[in-house]
Structure 1
Amino acid sequence: MTPMTKVAAGLFGTWALSDLEELWTMSRSSRYLLPRLPAALPVPARLRRDGLSQRHVALGIAAMGLLIGAAAAEGVRSQGRSPIFRGVLLAYGLHGFGHLGMAAVAGRYVSGAATAPVIVIPYWLWARRELARHGIAEVDGPAAAVAIAGPAILMGVHALTYRLTHD
């Protein structure tokens, strides 16, 4: 297995470990967080009131798993050079800090905060070093564009999941 195959496969592996935590905790955590979001954010009233159902969480994680798996496969295929892989890698690393930021703002544990500092962020830092060691820039225009699309993709997955689960 080449070093870049390990980096690319690591994206999916660490995502799967991290999302086991989210599968276990996100529904409960959302019942605390969603009612506290600013009213200006377009969150359906039912979600604000009840949080995410476990079915919603499971389906959303499965959908994201398909996307992360495709990005990891693209990383293997391109040996880390694909802007899709590098952009998803960047978004994945930054999302770890998002979990920690949410926990800090909430002043308590939120879903994802346990694995962010011990799985997500350390993997991302290692992957960045490996890319650099092999002369591959983690961030350039195309990769940044993919990373910037991450929040919109996440919202799209939640919207689709909401429609499919009739939450």
Structure 2
Amino acid sequence: MGNSSIDEKVSAAVTLGLFAAWALHDTEELVAGPRWVRENVPVLRERWPGVPDGVWRAVEGVDEREFGVAVGVMAGIVGAGAVAGWASGGRSAAYQAMLNGFGLHGLVHMGQALAVRGYTPGVATSPTLVVPFAVWARGRLKRAGVLRAGRGWDAVAGLAWAGAATVVSHGVARRVVRARG
């Protein structure tokens, strides 16, 4: 048989599955996020008085419409990355950075829940879907011989991708919502 792992094809479940996993995860955030912010930010402000007011105002300033538009923008970004992964057989550096960022952002959600000592939007699907999907997909890419060598920089790039995509999504959403009044 030889080294068949190098010849193994990367399935659409690995590449396009990133979009499906993201969609399920962001559905949780979309359903729970705005209400959670309204109910919990006042308590968190009291718990952490050292956090600048500007941070709290920014979090409270995202209403349901803006959040929904931001999720839509992120859908385009993640969808494009998943398609790039599919078209390249999983080799796309952008796809792999998104996959890494997706998995690592799940760990961030779990850290947030620990920090607030309770539920935060996104934490239910992080240990049950986000992190397991990312680990599984990376394993499939590795078996196929297309996973870029893991370095500390890859983790930083993945988190930077996730952070930048979030900032872009919310920036576009804020402009769209304000333009429509």
Inter-partner Cα distance in structure 2 for 1:84 and 1:51 = 31
Is the CA contact 2:10–2:141 (under 8 Å) kept in the aligned structure 1? no
Identity over aligned pairs, percent: 32
CA deviations on 1:99-135 (whole Å, 9 max, x unpaired) are 1111110111010011101111111110011011111
Highest relative contact order (Cα 8 Å, sep 6+), 1 or 2?
2
- The answer for the alignment partner of 2:14 in structure 1 is 7
Is the CA contact 1:87–1:143 (under 8 Å) kept in the aligned structure 2? yes
Taking a change above 3 Å as real, the CA distance of residues 83 and 115 of structure 1, as seen in their structure-2 partners, is same
- The answer for the alignment partner of 1:165 in structure 2 is 177
Is the CA contact 1:4–1:131 (under 8 Å) kept in the aligned structure 2? no
Match for 2:67 among 38, 57, 75?
57
In the alignment, is residue 39 of structure 1 matched against residue 46 of structure 2?
Answer: no
What does residue range 94-109 of structure 1 map to in structure 2 within 5 Å? 94-109=104-119
Match for 2:31 among 12, 24, 30?
24
> Which 4+ runs in 1 deviate beyond 4 A?
140-146
CA deviations on 1:145-165 (whole Å, 9 max, x unpaired) are 752233123122212212222
Unaligned runs of 5+ in 1: none
Q: TM-score if structure 2 supplies the norm length?
A: 0.79
Give the letter for the 2:162 counterpart.
Answer: G
Inter-partner Cα distance in structure 2 for 1:142 and 1:102 = 23
Q: TM-score if structure 1 supplies the norm length?
A: 0.85
Is the CA contact 1:84–1:146 (under 8 Å) kept in the aligned structure 2? no
- The answer for the alignment partner of 1:124 in structure 2 is 134
Shift of residue 23, structure 1, vs aligned partner: 1.0
Inter-partner Cα distance in structure 1 for 2:89 and 2:41 = 39
What do you get for the CA RMSD once the two structures are aligned? 2.5
